[in-house]
Chain A
Amino acid sequence: MKTILAVGAAGAVGAVVRTLIGFVLPATNGFPTGTFIVNISGTFILCFLVERTLHLTLVNKTAYDAITVGFLGAFTTFSAFSYETFTLFESNLAMAIVYVLSSIVLGLFAGAFGFRLGGRGRTE
Chain B
Amino acid sequence: MTVLNLAAVAIGGFFGAIIRYQLSKKLNTSKNIPYGTALVNLLGCLLVGFVFGLQLSTGLTFLLVSGLAGALTTFSTWLKEILGMSKVHEIGKAFLYLTASIVLGFAFVYIGFTGGSFFLG
Interface residues of A (CB under 8 A from B): 4, 7-16, 18-20, 22-23, 39, 42-43, 45-47, 50, 65, 69-70, 72-83, 85-86, 89, 100, 103-104, 107-108, 111-112, 115
- A selection of 8 A-B contacts at a CB cut-off of 8 Å is A4-B21, A18-B66, A72-B74, A75-B76, A78-B41, A78-B73, A83-B52, A86-B109
Distance of A32 Cα from B85 Cα, bound (Å): 28
Residue of B nearest to A72 (CB): B76
Residue of A nearest to B62 (CB): A19
Q: Given the complex, which residues of B lie within 8 Å of A103, measured CB to CB?
A: 75
**What are the 6 closest A-B residue pairs judged by CB atoms, nearest first?**
A11-B17, A15-B13, A74-B71, A79-B44, A78-B73, A82-B105
Give chain A's interface secondary structure class. Answer: helix
Q: Given the complex, which residues of A lie within 8 Å of B109, measured CB to CB?
A: 82-83, 86
Contact: B110 with A73, CB < 8 Å? no
Distance of A92 Cα from B11 Cα, bound (Å): 33
Among A11, A79, A82, A103, chain B packs the most CB atoms within 10 A around the CB of: A79
Q: Given the complex, which residues of B lie within 8 Å of A82, measured CB to CB?
A: 45, 48, 102, 105-106, 108-109
Q: Given the complex, which residues of B lie within 8 Å of A89, measured CB to CB?
A: 106
What 0/1 pattern do residues 3 to 43 of B give for CB contact below 8 A with A? 00010011111111110111010000000000000000100
Whether A7 contacts B18 in the complex (CB less than 8 A), given A74-B13, A79-B65, A82-B48, comes out as yes
Report if B98 contacts A (CB, 8 A).
yes
Report if B116 contacts A (CB, 8 A).
no
Interface residues of B in 64-121 (CB under 8 A from A): 65-67, 69-80, 82-83, 87, 98, 101-102, 105-106, 108-110, 113
Q: Given the complex, which residues of A lie within 8 Å of B14, measured CB to CB?
A: 8-9, 11-12
Contact: A79 with B79, CB < 8 Å? no
Contact: B11 with A12, CB < 8 Å? yes
Residue of B nearest to A79 (CB): B44
Q: Given the complex, which residues of A lie within 8 Å of B83, measured CB to CB?
A: 47, 108, 111-112, 115
